[in-house]
Structure 1
């Protein structure tokens, strides 16, 4: 299926595996890439040295194009950009809008730049700065998310920018791909659907929680870090929502210390990153501090399998997923479903009659 996304990135299918922290490691990314999708390596939870090692591992597993996801507000973003360039990575994706300078540096080196956005104005801004494409996530998507549904946000962005748009939030099958294409998107991005594959390194006990969840059990809460965050509703989420601010901040300090130890970041760097997170948002300092919860709470589930101690970011589509195919099976299925849906639409189309 030839679209602006496949032509831009060189992948076979207009499908993106998103850069999920603690989930999108070399095994999942290379499996997605080998199956013809654009696999995105998550780097926010890695040190620069770990990122370089992970990129080289992906390259050892596949010859297909892949990307790396970066936090544009990280203090060492430029160092990570240099790693992407030096290692010959095809695509740089960003969780937040990168600066005009970072976009220019990457494009000058031949790297495709695809920021993720949750609002039309953000898409317009990065398009004006030279981004090659934009990934737009509606409120159905997992992790930090907005209030506007994909079916409303997607056509807004498609109409507003002149670059390829990738649709995210609520996609898991071929019917969704066809719907996104009908809206004018160049492809779809999926997170939860790729998390729930046999190629994902997420522990089986955690995957079982996702598979057992209903649509209504995938909720949005601000209790983790002060920002709207879509995840599975669990006893831990309920307790965080009941916890007082003093207790929550005390817990955040302990988790921040743990994240500092595994990430290699200094306290000064973490403070600078916190300031960057605060910029342009109406966050209190306690909310900025609470943001340290997110990496450690996600790691507890996604890496350690502690569903009692961790949170599980999730799109609403978790309530519709009931199996764990490998990436090759999943992508082949999605593309077969998409072609079937297109054939059925063409077979049943009718022309309006006069009178």
Structure 2
């Protein structure tokens, strides 16, 4: 199935695996790209050296193209882009809008750019700055999300920009891929569906919680990092929602200190990252500390396998997933389902 996205990225199928912290490492990305999709490394929770080794580990497994997600507000964002250029990575994706300088730097170095957006105006802005594609996530999606569902946001963005649009939020099968293409998208992106594969490094106990969750088993909360974040509803999230200001501040300070150590940042660098995160977002310092602590909460659940003390980003689609295929099995299944759906539509009179 050839679309503007497969032509741009050089992948066989218009299916993107999103960059999920502590989930989208070498193993999952290599499996996705080798199967014909397009895997994206989550680099925000890696040091620069860890990212370099991850890129090379993927290359040892497959020669298929892949991308890396970069935090545009990270103190070393420029260094990370330089690394992607040196390693000839196909794409840099961004959760926060990249600056014009970062976009230009990527373009000059032969790296494609694809920021994630949650509103039409954001898509128009980054498109005018020269990005190569945009990923549009509707409110059904996991992690940081907005209030507008994919079915309304996607056609708005498709009509507003001329670059390829990738649809995210609520996708898990071939029917969804065909629906996205019908809206004008060039492909789909999935996070939760790829998290729930046998190639995902997430602990089995944690995967079971996702599989057991109903479609109403997620909640959008601002208590994790100060901005709307869709996560699995757990006893820990309920406690976080009920906690007072002082308790929340102490917890955020402790987790932010742990993240500073894991990321290899000095305190001045950590403070600088906090200032960058606050800029233009209207966050208080307490909210900024919560934002800095999010990777620690994700790590507790995803790496340490302790869901009772961590945070698990999850799209509502978790409620309709009930198995753990390999990435190859998943992608083959989606493409077969898409072909069946297209054949059925051709017979409609």
Give the TM-score, by structure 2 length.
Answer: 0.99
CA distance in 2, matches of 1:287, 1:112: 32
CA RMSD of aligned residues (A): 0.7
Match of 2:43 in 1: 43
Answering whether residue 341 of structure 2 is matched by residue 338 of structure 1, we say no
User: Gapped runs of 5+ residues in structure 2?
Assistant: none
Give the TM-score, by structure 1 length.
Answer: 0.97
Alignment of 1:115-154 (within 5 A): 115-154=115-154
Match of 1:164 in 2: 164
CA distance in 1, matches of 2:14, 2:124: 22
Match of 2:277 in 1: 277
Answering whether residue 260 of structure 2 is matched by residue 243 of structure 1, we say no
Alignment of 1:1-355 (within 5 A): 1-348=1-348, 350=349
Q: When the two structures are aligned, how many residues end up with a matched partner?
A: 349
| Residue range with higher mean Cα deviation, 271-280 or 152-161 | 271-280
| Residue range with higher mean Cα deviation, 4-13 or 107-116 | 107-116
Q: How far apart are 1:292 and its partner, in Å?
A: 2.2
Q: How far apart are 1:225 and its partner, in Å?
A: 1.3
Q: Show structure 1 runs of 4+ deviating over 6 A.
A: none
Q: How far apart are 1:293 and its partner, in Å?
A: 2.3
CA distance in 2, matches of 1:164, 1:214: 33
CA distance in 2, matches of 1:2, 1:126: 25
Q: How far apart are 1:109 and its partner, in Å?
A: 1.7
Q: How far apart are 1:282 and its partner, in Å?
A: 2.3
User: Gapped runs of 5+ residues in structure 1?
Assistant: 351-355
Structure 1 residues 298-326: Cα deviation after superposition (integer angstroms, max 9, x where no partner): 00011000011111100000000000000
Structure 1 residues 237-265: Cα deviation after superposition (integer angstroms, max 9, x where no partner): 00000100111010111111111111101
SS for the counterpart of 2:296 is helix
| Residue range with higher mean Cα deviation, 285-294 or 157-166 | 285-294
SS for the counterpart of 1:216 is coil
Structure 1 residues 35-87: Cα deviation after superposition (integer angstroms, max 9, x where no partner): 00000011000011111111110111110000000001111100000000001
SS for the counterpart of 1:308 is helix
CA distance in 1, matches of 2:18, 2:129: 23
